[in-house]
A and B are shown apart, each in its own frame.
Chain A
Amino acid sequence: MLGAIFRDALKNLSGNLLRSGLTMLGVIIGVASVIAMMAIVEGGQVWLVSSIERLGTNLLFVWKKRLTMEEKRMFAGRNLKLRYDDALAIRERFPDLKVAPIIEIDAQVKAGERNYSGRITGTSPEFSDIRNFHPALGRFFQTTDIHTWNRSVVLGKTIAEVLYGSQSAIGQQLKIGEHRFTVIGVMEPKGEIYGQDRDEMVFIPITTALRFFKGNDKIRSMIIHVPNRNQMEEVTHKLHQFLIQRHDGVDDIRVRNQGDFLGAVDQTIWTFRIVLGGIAIVALLVGGIGIMNIMLVTVTERTREIGLRKAVGAKRKDILQQFLIESTTISVIGGCFGVILGIFAAYGFGNFVAQSMPGGGDWGAVIKPTAIVIAFVFAVAVGIGFGLFPAMKASKLDPAEALRYQ
């Protein structure tokens, strides 16, 4: 009996292909947008998480908090800045940790006729290991370079090419601002991360940077490597307390580990999931209203048929079932097409993002089976839900009146 009803439903739907197709379109677009949006959000999450993890593992980030005017007044005279001393003190107090203090200077780099204006990073030898970012040619600077304020420089791959073309950069002399430096290394290609092209970085020893370009010992931030992943939280806390103590009891710094960033990503992703998923579900509901609309028309058109079926013995349940199966068939078929369209849309959009977003080269849509299941189940539920009212209406028709409906 159910098989016969299902065949009837298919026959009725194929009898009016244009109408069935247009009705399905709402469901198709709804399901496709749920799948595409989910895939894009999941892809975004994978991309963000992997880019955080590519920073290196077991990392802590330390930087100065921005103080309000009031706080600045309140803490006037206390030792507040994040200083190179802080980095040295951490090394002494926590010998297990690798500490890379960082400062940044804007300066011009000149090599003969060619030059480059940009950001110079002053840091310590630990930076290379901590960030898993190594020289391809020559060497990174060493502790002796730090102690002697050595004027040696390590170039990012792109910068080396800009300044020296195909010539070897190692051993070349160049000027940063007014100071003469020797190139001791060229970094491996590493690509972009968070809009920063690591191939355009220029490194000099932090002591050299402080002495020749700053004239003080204020640093911008520190990256710290913790050997044991399980100690991340504990070390984060201890380090924070240690720095507060050094800063005369003022909490003017932030210490964050990757977990904190991943947590923030998670939160952001959930917001996107809810917003985009909500939009997609609204699209599906609109599709459902389309189904209801057409089913109401169908019931009216087929009033005489309903009357006849009731006259020859169809129970209310039979009529209800018949029209519910018809609306569900629309949503199931629409759902199938929607899944296919959604997968294409997701990959299409993934490619678009990968090509157009800076640093999005390895961005891709991630289609989870759960997203497909959710979209499909929701589509079927919409078909049943919105088909229910027209089907009830059909099942309640009075057979004598329905038979003579004009």
Chain B
Amino acid sequence: MLITLSHINKIYTTGAVEIHALDDLNIEIEQGEFVAIIGQSGSGKTTLLDIVGCLSHPTNGDYWLNEAHINKLPDSELTTIRNQQIGFIFQTFHLLPRKSALENVQLPLMYARATRTHQQDRAREVLTMVGLQDRCTHHSNQLSGGQQQRVAIARALANKPALLLADEPTGNLDSQSGNEILSIFEELHRQGQTIVMITHDPLIAQRANRRITLLDGRMIADESTESRTQPVLQEL
């Protein structure tokens, strides 16, 4: 099992008001799954992403990622886990301005203390994977939204993470660019990459092979589309 969430609770306290963002959540995700987490705003999906992404700790409950007991680890080790095991893709891309596509993709490699040559080689490799081999030296403001998101995907893949974590990856894109991004996800999924994608759009969630629906911090549905995973199995 790649991800095990067991009795996860997250309670925010703002002044005298307690908000139960996640309420006794139990989820298991296997290696190679493409999971969509669906829910309206306020359903707790962003909170769940923060916990799965090791950006914050649950109030209580246990979280294992790739056999590491995440909620027992100090912040400094979470940083290493984020760097090595998780690739983030955000709605607003979060590329650094005044930096080329190549430099943006090098960032996680730099924090992994890779050599400069390896940083550049690997960054070119992943940019080629997302079809941007001729855009390496372009700065983010010279790229279209779809291209920026593909740079972000390349950055997420740089350290060969166990888990790709996408937060509304098509939210800021037109439907055609969004479609391209989802195609890349499908391709990565075919290659065995585990992907967890958060979205509020059921149509986009259809592209995943498993859909978990959240409402008010609880899981209310967990459906699989076997037909979509079938070709993968056949290929294997």
Instruction: For chain A, residues 300 to 317, give those with C-beta under 8 angstroms from any C-beta of chain B.
Output: 304-305, 307-316
Q: Are A312 and B55 in contact (CB under 8 A)?
A: no
Contacting residues, chain A, for B75 (C-beta < 8 A): 316
Closest to A318 in B: B111
Contacting residues, chain A, for B84 (C-beta < 8 A): 313
Tell yes or no: A11 within 8 A of B by CB. yes
Tell yes or no: A399 within 8 A of B by CB. yes
Q: Are A308 and B111 in contact (CB under 8 A)?
A: no
Q: Are A312 and B76 in contact (CB under 8 A)?
A: no
Tell yes or no: A403 within 8 A of B by CB. yes
Count, chain B residues at interface, CB 8 A: 26
Bitwise, A302-339 to B at CB < 8 A (1) or not (0) is 00110111111111101000000000000000000000
User: Shortest distance in angstroms between A267's beta carbon and chain B's nearest beta carbon?
Assistant: 55
A314 to B110, CA, bound (A): 9
Q: Are A312 and B50 in contact (CB under 8 A)?
A: no
Contacting residues, chain A, for B133 (C-beta < 8 A): none
A100 to B110, CA, bound (A): 82
- A sample of 27 cross-chain residue pairs with beta-carbon separation below 8 angstroms, ordered by A number, consists of A1-B110, A4-B110, A304-B94, A309-B107, A311-B53, A311-B82, A311-B94, A312-B83, A312-B107, A312-B108, A313-B79, A313-B111, A313-B112, A313-B159, A314-B79, A314-B111, A315-B76, A315-B111, A316-B75, A318-B111, A399-B55, A399-B56, A400-B50, A400-B55, A403-B55, A403-B90, A403-B94
Tell yes or no: A12 within 8 A of B by CB. yes
Instruction: For chain B, residues 84 to 111, give those with C-beta under 8 angstroms from any C-beta of chain A.
Output: 84, 88, 90, 94, 96, 98-99, 107-108, 110-111
Contacting residues, chain A, for B116 (C-beta < 8 A): 4
Instruction: For chain A, residues 1 to 33, give those with C-beta under 8 angstroms from any C-beta of chain B.
Output: 1, 4, 11-12, 15
User: Shortest distance in angstroms between A372's beta carbon and chain B's nearest beta carbon?
Assistant: 34
Q: Are B80 and A15 in contact (CB under 8 A)?
A: no
Tell yes or no: B210 within 8 A of A by CB. no
Tell yes or no: A106 within 8 A of B by CB. no
A12 to B90, CA, bound (A): 23
User: Shortest distance in angstroms between B118's beta carbon and chain A's nearest beta carbon?
Assistant: 13
